[in-house]
Amino acid sequence: MTYRIGYLIGSLASDSINRVLSKALVKLAPDDLEMFEIPIRDLPIYNRDDEYSPGPAVTAFKQAVESADGLLFISPEYNRSIPGALKNAIDIGSRPWGQNSFARKPTGIIGASAGAIGTAVMQSSMRSVLSFLDAPQLNAPEAYIHFDPEVFAADGTVSNESTAQFLAHYMSEYSAFVARVLSSALPGHMGDSDPEVMH
């Protein structure tokens, strides 16, 4: 079975190191993952007044999220938290109430930074947000990538073997996680029929 995985890049910069990381992850993903980007650049600033009259960019974004079997967030860390553009996209996709596009989507979080902590604090913030949005998360392995321009080529080629192996392992584990989450949601599964499990 092939899973369609939408990935969101938290930086809008054309030369973002996380965009380079996304290219590496696409190259290293197992064959059962079909990767496609869900752009966030053209989204308006979230405004509750617009929830029931969304523009075409919002409609297209929510449809893209909902069409994905799983979601991968590839993001830098801004001021020890989630970049504003990415948080805005999440807020838009989660609304209006009762139409949360992220619900029950198996998610992964990974990010690259020039610094040593490699987006760890951003990822912690993201986990709190995704938990509230009922989006299951791959908890291990964690992936905080120290970006070395001598290792990552602009096209996503990774020249360091151990780094390439780690990223390939991450994507393999994410693929297995997606399969587990989606199989548990099949009709007839215990969690699907027990009203105490459903919220």
Tens place of pLDDT per residue across the chain (199 aa) = 999 999 999 999 999 999 999 999 999 999 999 999 999 999 999 999 999 999 999 999 999 999 999 999 999 999 999 999 999 999 999 999 999 999 999 999 999 999 878 799 999 999 999 999 999 999 999 999 999 999 999 999 999 999 999 999 999 999 999 999 999 876 654 433 333 333 3
Residue 182, domain CATH: 3.40.50.360
Name the amino acid, one letter, at 89.
A
Whole-number Å distance between alpha carbons of 11 and 19: 8
Residue 198 lies in a domain: no
Residue 42 lies in a domain: yes
3-state SS of the chain? CCEEEEEEECCCCCCCHHHHHHHHHHHHCCCCEEEEECCCCCCCCCCHHHCCCCCHHHHHHHHHHHHCCEEEEECCCECCECCHHHHHHHHHHCCCCCCCCCCCCCEEEEEEECCCCCCHHHHHHHHHHHHHCCCCECCCCCCEEECCCCCECCCCCECCHHHHHHHHHHHHHHHHHHHHHHHHCCCCCHHHHCCCCCC
- Domain coverage including residue 51: 3-193
Give residue 116's pLDDT: 76
Residue 71 lies in a domain: yes
Residue 90 lies in a domain: yes
Give residue 186's pLDDT: 65
Residue 136 lies in a domain: yes
Residue 104 lies in a domain: yes
Give residue 187's pLDDT: 63
Q: How many domains does the chain have?
A: 1
Residue 199 lies in a domain: no
